[in-house]
Structure 1
Amino acid sequence: MEHDQEPLFESDDPHFLHARALSLSVGAIRKAQGKVSPNDFPVGSIEWHAAVEDFANDVLIALLGEPDNADIPPGHFIAKR
């Protein structure tokens, strides 16, 4: 699996650079904690959706600074089939 992909495009836009830095920081922290990455699973699989939700929850924690305000119940966005 390609974990160290270059961005699809380069941008000097400050919003892009901040979002990229946040994503890389959260990814590094998650790796140090032994958490999975969405890149570890096929896109669209149940495991990928769960990893994306968990990653998004960690992004909210990084932004809000309070885990209690950022909890997303596991499987919240996974459509029931």
Structure 2
Amino acid sequence: MEQDEDLPLGRMHPLRGEAFALALSIETIRRARGRSNPRDFALGSAQWEEASLDFARDIRWALGMNDEDDEDDEPLP
């Protein structure tokens, strides 16, 4: 089977390691601050969903993005 380098963050994609390191860093920072991570809850539970959204906000922050960046965009129909 050919390598999946063309797949978005597939097994052999060069950015996969960087994405994994970023996620682990965010998890570690959240844990140090006493905040929960999505993996602390059952998949699909209300707590998991809340932690996942909060985790996504932290990733956006780490990438230099914030909620104000979305205000200029028109909402999807």
Query: Considering only aligned residues, what root-mean-square deviation do their CA atoms show, in Å?
Result: 1.9
Q: Shift in Å at residue 13 of structure 1?
A: 2.5
The two structures have a TM-score, normalised by structure 2, of 0.68
Residues 23-42 of structure 1: CA distance to partner in whole angstroms, max 9, x if unpaired? Answer: 01101100101000111111
> Aligned residue pairs: how many?
59
Structure 2 equivalent of residue 20 of structure 1: 20
Identity percentage of aligned residues: 41
- Larger radius of gyration between Structure 1 and Structure 2: 2
Task: Label 1:30 to 1:42 Cα distance change in 2 as closer, same or farther (>3 A).
Answer: same
Structure 1 equivalent of residue 45 of structure 2: 45
Between 1 and 2, higher relative CO (CA 8 Å, sep ≥ 6) is seen in: 1
Residues 45-76 of structure 1: CA distance to partner in whole angstroms, max 9, x if unpaired? Answer: 01100000000000000001x6xx247xxxxx
How many Å separate the matches in 1 of 2:21 and 2:32? 17
Output aligned runs, 1:1-80, within 5 Å.
11-64=11-64, 69-70=66-67
Q: Shift in Å at residue 15 of structure 1?
A: 1.0
Which consecutive segments of 4 or more residues in structure 1 shift more than 2 A? Answer: none
